[in-house]
Structure 1
Amino acid sequence: MSVKQKSAFQDLVDFAKWHVWTRVRPSSRARLAYELFADDHEATTEGAYINLGYWKPGCASLEEANQELADQLAEAAGISEGDEVLDVGFGLGAQDFRWLETRKPARIVGIDLTPSHVRIASERAESENVQDRLQFKEGSATDLPFGAETFDRVTSLESALHYEPRTDFFKGAFEVLKPGGVLAIGDIIPLDLREPGSDGPPKLAPQRSGSLSGGMPVENWVPRETYAKQLSEAGFVDVEVKSVRDNVMDPWLDYWLRKLQDDSFRKSVSRLFYSQVKRSLTSDSGMKGELPALDFVIASARKPGA
């Protein structure tokens, strides 16, 4: 098959992938997206993170921003030496390898629905000879397969928006945490669009079909105050839901708009994938249109007890 024929064939394959993705139920889109577009992963993530990142002033690298986001979540969770940690929806597990090095917990167990994530993270753990302290398993965030009071910390980095529903994850995390244990989540939720100081109920934009809000079950379309209330209703105390969107959303979009102008990126992915990414990031019907209605939060909550 010639190079031109291969390119045309790949475009047909990618078109089929996109066709499937846009027609499945929202709660299934995240898993399909990660599986279907695995071939384009390295070109679109700059490393092993699959996140928006936390962009400090002067940060120009997506990898650096993602490391900072992982550090922010570890700090919110209070991960420390000797802890038993459960990381839910771990992606490719990049944050877990970082935490193992920088925070030195006794063990991190990751659980994720996507088989390729489990395989890739497990292979890396074996290659780095840390499989005794980093273990990755396939499973559901809303039906955690662990006993009560097993972990000191439970984390979820930019994946809880997809859980169906997220409140079941809150309940499960509370169950598997030891007394005094902490749940910490980096999450995407709708922004309360009320003017500062306004009374009345939150004002939320309608949920869209884009790649972020479109992958969010309708039950999860709640603002910060409801999010905090749901954590309290699950039994948690010391609940904090802090917005960090100014360090996440716009800097991430600016980064990608610059990357779209990079000819090497365009050549590294299929034509359909490039056109879909460009359309999403530059049109009001895509990411450009949905980001103004979205918030990025770091939430933390403690299970009462010792």
Structure 2
Amino acid sequence: MAARQSIVKDVRDVVRWHVWTRVRPSTRTRVAYELFADDHDATTEGAYINLGYWEPGCSSLEEANEALADQLAQASGMGPGDHLLDVGFGLGAQDFFWWESRRPASITGIDLTPSHVAAAQERAVAEGLTESLSFSEGSATDLPFEAERFDRVTSLESALHYDPRTTFFAEAFRVLKPGGTLAIGDIIPLDLDGERSSTPRLAPQRKGSLSGGMPAANWVPRAVYAEQLEAAGFVDVEVRSIRDRVMEPWLEYWQHKLAEDSFKSSVSRLFYSQVKRSLTSDAGMKGELPALDFVIASARKPTA
């Protein structure tokens, strides 16, 4: 436990969130965001980079993010004996949480960003979990695994960046065992009337926004999202909104943080100014939020 606390503290003390889109020449795939250590320290609460699921009374970002990870675990049916693939794992915080809370047989993480992989690998070494948790570089749209290898495939708040997300659906279907499940926590445009023909009210935004780096092909409402999963071969498809416990509570949390003198003094001036500009301006995330949905999508690969 002491080793875990040390690694998480190191991550908190040096991590900085950069959101942008670039193309990796080696794979022609998109890298949408990266967390990395440098001389411009920024204090965060834990190693999650997600919006969180805010139960009544929740006041901690890390608690909210563990609740969000648990929502995804429930949707996937994750449990003891499962071999799990987590795609776009960020710093892998949810994987360590799932290992403790769900006890799968193994967790394999894949992410395009080298610094994410290095941070997760370092933590797995420090906690003595390298035989059960493994992390490597790879693309969500070209998974480097044989067919029918995993019982569960998850992706927490990263599938919006996959180019395109439908190719990830096909790849997840391929690597799942018959009867296996796919579960995704995702950001999509809000569909007010619930109809397939609904036109999203906002286009994907510039870098630094919640939808920054989202390919236009991924900009689809819930009904189309479900149809795309079915087209990939999945059954028992469900795409449910949890935005009421995610979007506004997350924004409210950060607005409170911005008002705290202790927060301003604990982060770099650049990080503070970026957060303040984005979360208090109608031209930033604050203005974008009313047009976005947060969904938990789940689907099963047929047994025959």
Where on the TM-score scale, by shorter chain, does this alignment land: which range? 0.7 to 0.9
For the residues of structure 2 that align with 1:298 and 1:117, how far apart are their CA atoms?
Answer: 23
Structure 1 residue aligned with 2:284: 286
The amino acid that maps onto 1:89 is G
The amino acid that maps onto 2:265 is K
Structure 2 residue aligned with 1:238: 236
Report the RMSD for the aligned CA atoms in angstroms: 2.1
Structure 2 residue aligned with 1:193: 192
Q: 5 Å matches for 1:106-117? A: 106-117=105-116
Structure 2 residue aligned with 1:34: 35
Q: Does structure 2 conserve the Cα–Cα contact (< 8 Å) formed by 1:142 and 1:169?
A: yes
For the residues of structure 1 that align with 2:156 and 2:21, how far apart are their CA atoms?
Answer: 26
Question: 1:104 Cα shift?
Answer: 0.9
1:235-267 per-residue CA deviation (whole Å, 9 max, x = no partner) reads 000000000000000000000000001112112
SS of 1:213 mapped into structure 2 = coil
Sort the Cα spacing of 1:107 and 1:58 in 2 relative to 1 into closer, same or farther, 3 A: same
For the residues of structure 1 that align with 2:81 and 2:284, how far apart are their CA atoms?
Answer: 44
Sort the Cα spacing of 1:23 and 1:137 in 2 relative to 1 into closer, same or farther, 3 A: closer
1:24-81 per-residue CA deviation (whole Å, 9 max, x = no partner) reads 57x84623x434889545x23x001110000000100001000000111000000111
Structure 1 or 2: larger strand share?
Answer: 2
For the residues of structure 2 that align with 1:218 and 1:269, how far apart are their CA atoms?
Answer: 33
Deviating above 3 A after TM superposition, structure 1's stretches of 4 or more consecutive aligned residues are 21-25, 35-41
Residue 205 (structure 1) aligned with residue 201 (structure 2): yes
The answer for unaligned runs of 5 or more in structure 2 is 1-16, 24-28
Q: Does structure 2 conserve the Cα–Cα contact (< 8 Å) formed by 1:74 and 1:99?
A: yes
Structure 1 residue aligned with 2:51: 52
SS of 2:32 mapped into structure 1 = helix
Question: 1:269 Cα shift?
Answer: 2.0
The amino acid that maps onto 1:190 is P
Residue 73 (structure 1) aligned with residue 72 (structure 2): yes
Structure 1 residue aligned with 2:216: 218
Q: Does structure 1 conserve the Cα–Cα contact (< 8 Å) formed by 2:76 and 2:152?
A: yes
For the residues of structure 2 that align with 1:241 and 1:54, how far apart are their CA atoms?
Answer: 16
TM-score, reference length from structure 1: 0.87
SS of 1:182 mapped into structure 2 = strand
The amino acid that maps onto 1:30 is A
Question: 1:215 Cα shift?
Answer: 1.8
Sort the Cα spacing of 1:106 and 1:205 in 2 relative to 1 into closer, same or farther, 3 A: same
The answer for unaligned runs of 5 or more in structure 1 is 1-16
Residue 247 (structure 1) aligned with residue 249 (structure 2): no
Q: Does structure 1 conserve the Cα–Cα contact (< 8 Å) formed by 2:196 and 2:221?
A: no
Question: 1:23 Cα shift?
Answer: 7.8
Structure 2 residue aligned with 1:8: none
For the residues of structure 1 that align with 2:135 and 2:21, how far apart are their CA atoms?
Answer: 30
Residue 266 (structure 1) aligned with residue 264 (structure 2): yes
Sort the Cα spacing of 1:112 and 1:22 in 2 relative to 1 into closer, same or farther, 3 A: closer
For the residues of structure 2 that align with 1:40 and 1:220, how far apart are their CA atoms?
Answer: 33
Q: Does structure 2 conserve the Cα–Cα contact (< 8 Å) formed by 1:193 and 1:205?
A: no
Q: Does structure 2 conserve the Cα–Cα contact (< 8 Å) formed by 1:193 and 1:203?
A: no
1:188-207 per-residue CA deviation (whole Å, 9 max, x = no partner) reads 0000134x7xx672131121
1:266-287 per-residue CA deviation (whole Å, 9 max, x = no partner) reads 1222222211110100111100
Q: Does structure 1 conserve the Cα–Cα contact (< 8 Å) formed by 2:191 and 2:198?
A: yes
Q: 5 Å matches for 1:76-95? A: 76-95=75-94
For the residues of structure 1 that align with 2:63 and 2:286, how far apart are their CA atoms?
Answer: 23
SS of 2:130 mapped into structure 1 = coil
Structure 1 or 2: larger helix share?
Answer: 1
Structure 2 residue aligned with 1:12: none
SS of 1:34 mapped into structure 2 = strand
**More deviation, 242-251/100-109:** 100-109
1:7-36 per-residue CA deviation (whole Å, 9 max, x = no partner) reads xxxxxxxxxx98xx66857x84623x4348
Structure 2 residue aligned with 1:10: none
For the residues of structure 1 that align with 2:282 and 2:37, how far apart are their CA atoms?
Answer: 25
For the residues of structure 1 that align with 2:265 and 2:116, how far apart are their CA atoms?
Answer: 25
Sort the Cα spacing of 1:292 and 1:125 in 2 relative to 1 into closer, same or farther, 3 A: same
Sort the Cα spacing of 1:193 and 1:203 in 2 relative to 1 into closer, same or farther, 3 A: farther
Give the number of aligned pairs: 281
Larger radius of gyration: 1
Q: Does structure 2 conserve the Cα–Cα contact (< 8 Å) formed by 1:113 and 1:138?
A: yes
Percent of aligned pairs with the same residue?
68
